[in-house]
Structure 1
Amino acid sequence: MFQLHFSSFLTRTLLTGIGALTLFGCDPESDGPLTGPPAPAGTGSNVYVVNEGQFNTPNGAISLFSKTSRAVVDNNLFTKVNGRILGDVVQSMTVVGDQGYIVVNATGKVEVVSMADFKQVATIDRLQQPRYLAAVSSSKAYLSEWIERGKPGRVAVIDLRTNTVTKSIAVGRQPEQLLLANGRLYVANSDENTISIINPTSDAVEATVQVQDGPSSLAQDKNGNIWVGCGGITRYDPVTFAVLSSTNGSLVRFAPGSPTNQTVLPFASGGPSNLVINGAKDQLYYSYKSAVYQLSASATMLPATPLVRRNFYGLGIDPQDNTIYGSIAPFTTTGKVIRYQPTGAAIDSFGVNIGPNSFVFY
């Protein structure tokens, strides 16, 4: 029988509608050597909020929040600066040096902007359900693409000097986040239980490692270990949408040199989402069952008590001061972001656009 796997992306496309903007108050040719991407050129005083928008409606947007003034500068920055819409389902944004790469999933493109003024400098198009971008040097990046549900995905190799796709690498089904660690690129294949490991010199998959079901997010801690957020997989009947099968999620940790030697922290039911790490890379954060949990990078078991009792669609940690950013995305109207101290105490909140899912600190 043909089965459907509904990820969070597909599920949220059912939550569509149009709403008005709201502002909230406080709510308690040679690629060159693999040198790694250049550091972002920003001061860290700005926070860019990625707003997906409503599925099949090209109203995705980028909001700009100033930490200095503690106010939203603009809730549709790309459109204001460039005089045109950004696109349908803005999935993610990555800064490489002084340029931003905005991945627009349903429109099948990446918009490249100058971070100095947010003016568009290039468009990488003809992509198939692009998800996340990661640079391995100042001239080369990789981009995950779903391609088609139920079939193998791919990772596009992008020349950042020309903003063109030079080749593609086949990986597992529904590849999500990418992580450059110890000279290798790790790809989370979310519709199975594997991580593809790519050699950036040869652009070839040199290993496929089994983890747990539904890997989607990746982080590297201060000890060099790689963490994988595995949310589990639920299969649905394509006609009745009845649940056919479901597996629980886990957090998985391993050293890059021995990816099959893993520490698995399983969840009794359901699974985690939004795995992120702080600037010191010694504390991880994730969402689970309508709460946010904090986990030490040296932990051998999951925490029992949440840090914040709130259900967030997106989660971010300011690398400068560990301020926690959580986004609420009703999709029927505009969303909002709540900020918390590292202790979990609420600071304030602000209105953004529709479907806020992640944060870029610059």
Structure 2
Amino acid sequence: MKQFKLNYLLITLAFVSLLASCKKDKDPEFRLPTQGVYVLSQGNFNQNNSTLSYYDYRDKTTNPDIYQSSNGVKLGDTGNDVGIYGSKMYIVVNNSNRVTIADAKTAKLNKQITIAQPRFVVFYDKNAFVTSYNGTVSVIDTASLTITKTITVGRNPEQMAISNGKLYVANSGGLDFSYNFDKTVSVIDLTTLAETKKITVTDNPVSLAADSYNNIYVLSMGNYGGDATHPPIDPGMTVINAQTDVVRSKPAVSLGYSVPILAQGDFVYFPTADNKIAMFNAKTQTMERANFITDATTVTTPFALAFDKLTNQIFIADAKDYSSNGSLYVYDVTGKMAYSVTTGIIPGKIAFINK
């Protein structure tokens, strides 16, 4: 009888505990951390209409411009990149000549740093690195939010990638309209913060990604078909060995003039000339398949790629016609679309956040 009463008491306590836990789950105070995605849309040049939208995974709602709603002012002109490091979000606003630093959870403004025509940002060991069209990389201390060093690289640097303690910088020369494009990737030692060498690649390199096999992938835009006195140079890919800093190969790929790139797991993703999303096998260094997307959906103008490790989904931003609102398409790893979200004009960068 005593054993029966003890078992009954234990069952009752367990039931009460279960009810209490269910009550806690319904209470907002006990919600799990919310994750969502920021999408930075460039807007149109000289129109001051860049936007930072936020899509909430839990509520399935979109704030079309969380920066403006949090600060009461517009973000600026031609937002080019966004990255989250620690509790801060760094928004590179190219034609406004500044890097805007905001709270990563609320998008509330913290500080703005003036940099001439900034392009992209990456992070390493308490530093943010920002390329500028003036041929430099600015080093920002993420604690003091001040520029501590400026590193001279090539002409009109664009994207960067980090591997083996080195920062790789794509020097495009993209503002040289005489077809005299740059065709180098600068290598910066992240201990000394000094450029150690330049690696020659296909003309007009703009996009970089690092895989887990010590490779750097460089996508170059070529010379846009050339002219009567300049033979055409097609867009192309260069693979650099990040251990030796020697060009490993130049795989034959089909590229358009919109060249975001994503290295994730064993694969590298990038848009082709016909706006499909190609998959390149980083392990075997061969093409995996011509199109990652396996359902009937199409992307008009793929302009940004990202991977959310928490949801195991691939995000593709579609700039469409460059003048109306774009879209964010979300796919599972098999290439089937899960859902889509409306963005601002020319969605160009994607960043994920826990709240």
Q: TM-score range by the shorter chain?
A: 0.7 to 0.9
Tell me the CA shift for residue 351 of structure 1. 1.0
Indicate the residue corresponding to 1:18 in structure 2.
none
Task: Describe the shift of the 1:56–1:272 C-alpha distance in structure 2 as closer, same or farther (beyond 3 A).
Answer: closer
Tell me the CA shift for residue 57 of structure 1. 0.9
Indicate the residue corresponding to 1:122 in structure 2.
111
The partner residue of 2:148 within 166, 169, 177 is: 166
Instruction: State whether residues 255 and 272 of structure 2, in contact with CA within 8 Å, keep that contact through their aligned partners in structure 1.
Output: no
The partner residue of 1:331 within 318, 322, 325 is: 322
Indicate the residue corresponding to 1:249 in structure 2.
235
Instruction: State whether residues 238 and 247 of structure 2, in contact with CA within 8 Å, keep that contact through their aligned partners in structure 1.
Output: no
Tell me the CA shift for residue 190 of structure 1. 2.0
Which residues in structure 2 correspond to 1:1-362 (within 5 Å)? 45-72=35-62, 74-125=63-114, 127-138=115-126, 140-147=127-134, 153-191=135-173, 192-234=182-224, 244-267=230-253, 270=256, 273-278=259-264, 281-289=265-273, 290-303=275-288, 305-308=290-293, 309-311=298-300, 312-329=302-319, 330-362=321-353
Q: Which amino acid aligns with 1:259?
A: D
The sequence identity of aligned pairs, in percent, is 27
Tell me the CA shift for residue 293 of structure 1. 1.2
Q: Distance in 2 between matches of 1:71 and 1:287?
A: 28
Superposed CA deviations along residues 254-292 of structure 1, whole A, max 9, x for unmatched, are 3322111412212367577111122xx322111112111
Task: Describe the shift of the 1:264–1:321 C-alpha distance in structure 2 as closer, same or farther (beyond 3 A).
Answer: farther
Q: Distance in 2 between matches of 1:303 and 1:167?
A: 41
**Mind listing any 5+ residue stretches in structure 2 that lack a counterpart?**
1-31, 174-181
Instruction: State whether residues 225 and 233 of structure 2, in contact with CA within 8 Å, keep that contact through their aligned partners in structure 1.
Output: no
Tell me the CA shift for residue 197 of structure 1. 0.6
Tell me the CA shift for residue 352 of structure 1. 1.3
Instruction: State whether residues 44 and 320 of structure 1, in contact with CA within 8 Å, keep that contact through their aligned partners in structure 2.
Output: no
User: TM-score under structure 2 normalisation?
Assistant: 0.80
Superposed CA deviations along residues 319-356 of structure 1, whole A, max 9, x for unmatched, are 33442222222232222222222222222212111111
Aligned length: 307
**Mind listing any 5+ residue stretches in structure 1 that lack a counterpart?**
1-41, 148-152
Instruction: State whether residues 272 and 286 of structure 1, in contact with CA within 8 Å, keep that contact through their aligned partners in structure 2.
Output: no
Task: Describe the shift of the 1:117–1:254 C-alpha distance in structure 2 as closer, same or farther (beyond 3 A).
Answer: same
Q: Distance in 1 between matches of 2:229 and 2:78?
A: 26
Instruction: State whether residues 50 and 76 of structure 2, in contact with CA within 8 Å, keep that contact through their aligned partners in structure 1.
Output: yes
Superposed CA deviations along residues 118-175 of structure 1, whole A, max 9, x for unmatched, are 21111101x111011122212x22110012xxxxx11112222222223322211221
Quote the RMSD (CA, aligned, Å): 2.3
Q: Which amino acid aligns with 1:248?
A: D
Superposed CA deviations along residues 67-126 of structure 1, whole A, max 9, x for unmatched, are 223331x1111110011111000000011111100000000001101113221111101x
Instruction: State whether residues 71 and 350 of structure 1, in contact with CA within 8 Å, keep that contact through their aligned partners in structure 2.
Output: no
Q: Distance in 2 between matches of 1:299 and 1:43?
A: 38
Task: Describe the shift of the 1:299–1:232 C-alpha distance in structure 2 as closer, same or farther (beyond 3 A).
Answer: farther
Q: More helix by proportion, 1 or 2?
A: 2
Q: Which amino acid aligns with 2:186?
A: S
Instruction: State whether residues 248 and 271 of structure 1, in contact with CA within 8 Å, keep that contact through their aligned partners in structure 2.
Output: no
Could you say what secondary structure the match of 1:332 adopts?
coil
Tell me the CA shift for residue 202 of structure 1. 2.6
Higher-Rg member (1/2): 2
Instruction: State whether residues 52 and 355 of structure 1, in contact with CA within 8 Å, keep that contact through their aligned partners in structure 2.
Output: yes
Tell me the CA shift for residue 55 of structure 1. 0.6
Tell me the CA shift for residue 203 of structure 1. 2.4
Could you say what secondary structure the match of 1:273 adopts?
coil
Could you say what secondary structure the match of 1:79 adopts?
helix
Task: Describe the shift of the 1:358–1:245 C-alpha distance in structure 2 as closer, same or farther (beyond 3 A).
Answer: farther
Superposed CA deviations along residues 187-226 of structure 1, whole A, max 9, x for unmatched, are 1112322110112333221111112223222222222322
Q: Distance in 2 between matches of 1:129 and 1:350?
A: 29
Q: Which amino acid aligns with 1:145?
A: S
Q: Which amino acid aligns with 2:121?
A: L
